[in-house]
């Protein structure tokens, strides 16, 4: 399944644009795991390495990492660059189910 097909889902899809060399991205990883446990299968969470997927990163104008984008049916519902607290992220995902 392509990236474009994944974000067209009726189910919200949270995309974590990251890079291996990014310190804050490493901090974001356990936060995403914690949030996934709280929201379960109601939201899909995928990670996109900007160095390995430069075309997708350019398409969404990713200029800093981590950048989180929440898609639903292909539309951007929320976007944030930088770290997000687990409670805030959980709330945002629940509001966009």
Q: Is 80 helix (H, G, I), strand (E, B) or coil?
A: strand
Joined together, the tokens standing for residue 50 give 């900007």
User: Is 25 designated active site?
Assistant: yes
Active-site option among 9, 22, 36, 86: 22
User: Is 22 designated active site?
Assistant: yes
75-81: strand order across its sheet: 44-49, 13-18, 67-72, 75-81
Active-site option among 7, 15, 25, 62: 25
Contact 78, 46 (CB under 8 A): no
Cα 7 to Cα 44: distance, rounded to the nearest angstrom:
9
Q: Which residues are catalytic?
A: 22, 25
């Amino acid at each position: 399944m392509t990236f474009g097909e994944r974000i067209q889902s009726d189910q919200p899809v949270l995309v974590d644009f990251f890079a291996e060399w990014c310190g804050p991205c490493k901090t974001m990883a356990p936060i995403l795991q914690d949030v996934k446990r709280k929201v379960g299968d109601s939201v899909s969470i995928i990670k996109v390495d900007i160095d390995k997927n430069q075309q997708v990163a350019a398409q969404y104008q990713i200029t800093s990492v981590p950048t989180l984008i929440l898609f639903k049916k292909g539309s951007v519902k929320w976007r944030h660059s930088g770290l997000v607290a687990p409670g805030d992220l959980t709330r945002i995902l629940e509001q966009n189910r």
